[in-house]
Amino acid sequence: MYENMDETLKWRLKSGRYVEDVIYEFGCSCQFEEPSNYELFTTEEREDIKSKNIKCNPEPEEDVITCLNAFNKTNVHDIREVMAQFSMRQGSEYTIQKDFSTDVIIYAIHSLVLLYERQPNALGIDHLENWYNINLWALLLTRLSGT
């Protein structure tokens, strides 16, 4: 795949090196997963990379802020009451365009509450990394992607 990359589409740094080439060459030399490729680039090249394609984080909508603030509770019983209030709101007035974000928040919190309430508390036990991938991240990312 790398060999078929169109050089005109690669990211050319001011130094003349291409980001894709540096990372590819480094990857070929690694025997194990490398936690950082920070030292692959000079200070100037890192600044060049940081200065391009800067994206601003969008401001959350007011209903998202309200939803998140409503969950500022200290016990599971109160959190479940908030989930019930938001669930009741969804009935016939629910629209995916307006309510998707709050729906995802409620889903995420509900998933965490279920893990927390298990005996023993699943969130209070050490797990292998893959447990977190399956039980936390996969649930949330699948829900956010709409699949």
The gap from C-alpha 7 to its chain's centroid, in whole angstroms, comes to 30
In whole angstroms, how large is the CA radius of gyration of the chain? 22
Extents of the domains making up the chain: 2-50, 62-145
Task: Express each pLDDT in 64-95 by its tens digit.
Answer: 999 999 999 999 999 999 999 887 766 667 78
Round to whole Å and give the CA distance between 139 and 143: 6
Question: What's the predicted TM-score (pTM) here?
Answer: 0.57
> The tokens 């019930």 sit on which residue?
84
Of 23-27, 34-38, 140-144, give the lowest mean pLDDT range. 34-38
Query: Of 79, 92, 115, 100, which Cα lies nearest the Cα of 145?
Result: 100
**Phi, then psi, of 59 in degrees rounded to 5:** -75, 135
Structure tokens at 123: 């969130």
